[in-house]
Structure 1
Amino acid sequence: MTTSTQHSSNDQQVHVVLVPGFWLGAWAWDDVVPHLEAAGLAPHAVTLPGLDDARTDRSDLTREDHVQAVRDVIAPLEGDVVLVGHSGGGPVIHEVVDRDPARIRRAVYVDSGPLVDGASLAPDLPAGTVELPLPSWDELAAQGSSLDGVDEAGLARFRARAVPHPAGVAGGRVRVSDPARLDVPATAICTSLPAEMVEQMANPGPPLHTELGELDVTYVDLPTGHWPMFSRPADLATEIVRAARA
């Protein structure tokens, strides 16, 4: 696990922990981090276990490994903590909130959301699957992960740096149980779907299986595809700053 960090002697510093989705490391936030630093926040971009190198053994990694990795980033921080989760990183940060809700000032979901207890992002993986490689662009689009707004250079960088996602994490069941998790304020930055539509779909049933509707949520529209850190990084940073200061 690696992080990109700005240190501050100010105990009241607001720390923003950036958790990427499938196939991504801390590098995915490279164009967002400078804007957060310029706004006076302390960003910590996380590379979760198994996402550091294509040669890494991912066979035994679990959701709890990813949850604990984020908790390890938070543990030494002094001041307020805002969690940001993109895509598959959203359920991870929700599990982190569940483990210690009093420690988190706000959770920010970027084209993502908190899953209900027992839900899985990939419940139908074949037995013995160890990892999930980055699909083709057409396959991603068919799955609803729009690449709108990402230029050819961005796509090439994404393809070159993507790492297979651990199947044990993708197929693992979310575990949340502390009712206090629902008291932590949240922001939903809606990029693939309009905020109005996301709000209507924010219930425990299909297709989202989300607890978003049970939270104190601020919905924000940021129209683009599923990867705003690549397509609209400055605008995404602006919304993260607003959420961190809310």
Structure 2
Amino acid sequence: MHIILIPGLWLDASIWDEVVTHVRGKGHEPVALALPGQGDGTDATLDDQIDAVLAAIDSLAGETALVVVHYSDEARFDVPVTEICPEFPPEDAKAWIENGVPELQKVAHLEYVDIDSGHWPMVSAPLRLAEIIDELTRS
């Protein structure tokens, strides 16, 4: 399966390097997307970055893809979302969302996975994160 890995703000695509290796080893085709304005010395808006993500998805010409983001926007309300909880238990994430994260309250299908790895699981637990990503492709 194609897997598009998107870094969060201030991070470039290299943050996913170890995860890419492990996910590829599980038979998938991962791509760590380099967003404009993230470490490339250019100025870019959020719209420029969204356009880059959409172009990466569109380039797959209708093939199935799993998109993994380290941040997100409101365009995902109708697609299944898995909240990976690296620093907090899923119960806390559910409570926070129910009590004040309106954009995630709008998601039609939201699941939680506990990884207990610290803030950036792609750095602190890349193999476990790759396993979770592989599991998500099978669900």
**RMSD, aligned α-carbons:** 1.8
User: Match of 1:193?
Assistant: 88
Deviation at 1:76, TM superposition (A): 1.6
Task: Say whether the 8 Å CA contact 1:21–1:85 is kept in structure 2.
Answer: yes
Structure with bigger gyration radius: 1
User: Match of 2:123?
Assistant: 230
1:214 aligns with 2:113: no
| Identical-pair percentage | 38
Alpha-carbon distance in 1 for matches of 2:34, 2:87: 24
User: Match of 1:167?
Assistant: none
User: Match of 2:31?
Assistant: 44
**Relative contact order higher in (CA < 8 Å, ≥ 6 apart):** 2
The one-letter code sitting in structure 1 at the alignment partner of 2:78 is D
Task: Say whether the 8 Å CA contact 1:203–1:210 is kept in structure 2.
Answer: no
Q: Which runs of 5+ in 1 are unaligned?
A: 1-13, 99-180
TM-score (norm 1): 0.52
Alpha-carbon distance in 2 for matches of 1:65, 1:199: 31
The one-letter code sitting in structure 1 at the alignment partner of 2:97 is A
Whichever structure has more helix as a proportion of its residues is 2
Q: How many residues align?
A: 138
Q: Which runs of 5+ in 2 are unaligned?
A: none
User: Match of 1:138?
Assistant: none
Task: Say whether the 8 Å CA contact 1:194–1:221 is kept in structure 2.
Answer: yes
Alpha-carbon distance in 2 for matches of 1:209, 1:183: 15
The one-letter code sitting in structure 2 at the alignment partner of 1:67 is I
Distance 1:233 1:22, change over 3 A: same
Task: Say whether the 8 Å CA contact 1:204–1:211 is kept in structure 2.
Answer: no
TM-score (norm 2): 0.89
1:202 aligns with 2:97: yes
Deviation at 1:221, TM superposition (A): 0.3
Deviation at 1:224, TM superposition (A): 1.8
Distance 1:239 1:213, change over 3 A: farther
